[in-house]
């Protein structure tokens, strides 16, 4: 059976698209597409209301798609009583677009750190 060159070309393009959407062959290390997850960790002893207020103050940044719920931070080396939340962003920290969002979070005395994990 011989394939028509146009059918063969269309098949190759379709296969490449399916592989790209399915994640095969992607070279990203972790967060491969939006929404990207910015993890915010609050200082030990921060009341939930203060954590929520810090997130609300920074949620108006154009990089923010939405904010997640504040919850107990459980992880290696997590200080007792720490809270965490996820901010979902439209872009990873490339260039200077992320600077205002991180500056807003750092202005809050309740925020310990914020980073985009792999």
Contact 51, 58 (CB under 8 A): no
Residue showing tokens 């985009």: 116
Domains and CATH numbers, the chain: 36-115 (3.30.70.2520)
What is the model's pLDDT at position 68? 94
Phi-psi region of 95 (alpha: psi -120 to 50; beta: other; left: phi over 0): left
What is the model's pLDDT at position 19? 43
The whole model's pTM is what? 0.71
Residues in the chain, pLDDT under 70: 1-29, 77-80
Long-range contacts, 24-32 (Cβ 8 Å, 24+):
29/118, 30/117, 30/118, 31/92, 31/116, 31/117, 31/118
Rg of the chain over Cα atoms, rounded to whole angstroms, equals 20
What is the model's pLDDT at position 117? 80
């Amino acid at each position: 059976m011989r394939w028509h060159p146009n059918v063969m070309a269309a098949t190759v393009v379709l296969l490449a698209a399916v592989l790209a959407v399915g994640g095969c062959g992607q070279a990203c290390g972790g967060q491969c597409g939006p929404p990207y997850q910015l993890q915010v960790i609050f200082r030990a002893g921060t009341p939930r209301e203060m954590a929520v207020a810090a997130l609300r103050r920074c949620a108006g940044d154009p990089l923010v798609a939405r904010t997640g719920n504040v919850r107990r931070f459980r992880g290696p080396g997590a200080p007792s009583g720490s809270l965490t939340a996820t901010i979902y962003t439209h872009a990873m920290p490339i260039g200077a677009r992320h600077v205002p969002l991180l500056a807003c979070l750092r202005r809050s005395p309740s925020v310990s750190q914020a980073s985009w994990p792999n």
